């Protein structure tokens, strides 16, 4: 590679393959695609260390619970007030993403009580609540509920919640679709990108623990931001590295040791994923989940 002959331009996250090399007296990092970037043109980004909470242990918290998070600024402290009023005294400032019990709501729904004489603005709390499973699930079947408005996912085994965490849904121009799907494909590592001239263009290497529930939508790791609980994706459900790895291992279909991919279908279904919102609280079944539901209804009718 000649140092004065750029092969192209890149923007956004890149995977560094290292080590640093010297070319024509300048230092470069080797990146994906066997290309090189000047050392001064890269800024290191450490992935988020945020993780959700287990709900299936004896001492685990119970739903409903919430994460204290300032709307639009997940790194800011959250003021906790003595009464459900904007002018009430601040009794403490909670650390961002601290977990709080959800004890009551004010009559106007704008405030949530999280302790004795302790209130936070509802917009500064991401709440996970227990919800009944879609009809037709098997006893103790694993499934996932994603609330687009709260930006919270809860993993269940039957009616029992076992894990809850924050995710990032799609931004305004790339909304996360609502529906009831099944995981159809799991991929341990893949490249993701969009090239829409004049709209958006990016390419991200080594996106890990990808679980597709629709052709263009998946649960997957987002190692390039720490905005979980805020809209940040192009429609997928962005998860922190620790959460993405946990849910990838927990959700069917199982990926055999040494494999990097697994697929599911109506004959051997993957994890059911329900994505809902206030506008669509009871979403329709999509993809091969419709075939799974119909086969189970027919089997149940045949045994009557």
Query: What string of DSSP letters covers 81-130?
Result: ESSSSTTS-EEEEEPTT-EEE--EE-TTSSEEEEETTEEEEGGGEEEE--
Q: What angle do CA 112, 229, 163 make, to 5 degrees?
A: 85
DSSP 74: T
Q: Does 275 have pLDDT greater than 80?
A: yes
Domain boundaries, the chain: 13-44, 64-128, 142-302
Q: Which of 32-36, 190-194, 204-208 has the highest mean pLDDT?
A: 204-208
What is the pLDDT at residue 1? 40
Residue 3 — very low, low, confident or very high, per pLDDT cuts 50/70/90? very low
* Fold for the domain defined by 142-302: L,D-transpeptidase catalytic domain-like (2.40.440)
- Interatomic CA distance for residues 70 and 79, integer angstroms: 9
Residue range 64-128 forms a domain whose CATH class is: mainly beta
Secondary structure (3-state) at 66: strand
Write the pLDDT tens digit of every residue in 82-94. 999 999 999 999 9
Q: Which of 33-47, 70-84, 227-241 shows the lowest per-residue confidence on average (mean pLDDT)? A: 33-47
Beta-carbon count within 10 A of 159 CB: 12
Handedness of CA 207, 211, 216, 221 (dihedral sign): negative
Q: What angle do CA 10, 16, 17 make, to 5 degrees?
A: 125
- The token duo for 239 is 């998860």
- Whether the full predicted model's pTM is greater than 0.85, yes or no, is yes
Residue 6 — very low, low, confident or very high, per pLDDT cuts 50/70/90? low
Nearest to 264 by CA among 279, 251, 252: 252
């Amino acid at each position: 590679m000649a140092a004065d002959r750029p092969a192209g331009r890149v923007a956004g996250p890149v995977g560094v393959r290292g080590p640093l090399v010297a070319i024509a007296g300048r230092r470069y990092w080797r990146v994906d695609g066997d290309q090189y970037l000047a050392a001064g043109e890269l800024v290191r980004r450490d992935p988020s260390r945020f993780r959700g909470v287990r709900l299936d242990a004896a001492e685990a918290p119970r739903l409903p619970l919430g994460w204290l998070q300032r709307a639009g600024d997940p790194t800011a402290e959250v003021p906790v007030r003595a009464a459900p009023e904007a002018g009430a005294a601040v009794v403490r400032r909670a650390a961002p993403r601290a977990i709080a019990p959800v004890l009551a709501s004010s009559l106007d729904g704008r405030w949530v009580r999280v302790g004795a004489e302790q209130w936070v603005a509802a917009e500064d709390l991401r709440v996970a609540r227990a919800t009944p499973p879609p009809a037709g699930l098997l006893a103790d079947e694993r499934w996932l509920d994603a609330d687009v408005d709260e930006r919270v996912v809860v993993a269940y085994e039957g009616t029992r919640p076992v894990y809850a965490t924050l995710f990032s849904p799609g931004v305004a121009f790339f909304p996360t679709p609502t529906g009831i799907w099944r995981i159809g494909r799991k991929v341990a590592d893949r490249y993701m990108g969009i090239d829409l001239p004049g709209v958006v263009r990016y390419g991200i290497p080594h996106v890990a623990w990808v679980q597709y529930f629709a052709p263009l939508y998946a649960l997957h790791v987002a190692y390039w931001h720490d905005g979980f609980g805020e809209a940040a994706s192009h429609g997928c459900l962005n998860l922190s590295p620790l959460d993405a790895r946990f849910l990838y291992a927990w959700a069917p279909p199982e990926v055999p040791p040494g494999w990097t991919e697994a697929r599911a279908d109506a004959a051997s279904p993957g994890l059911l994923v329900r994505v809902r919102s206030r506008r669509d609280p009871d979403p329709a079944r999509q993809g091969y989940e419709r075939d799974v539901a119909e086969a189970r209804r027919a089997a149940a009718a045949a045994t009557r």
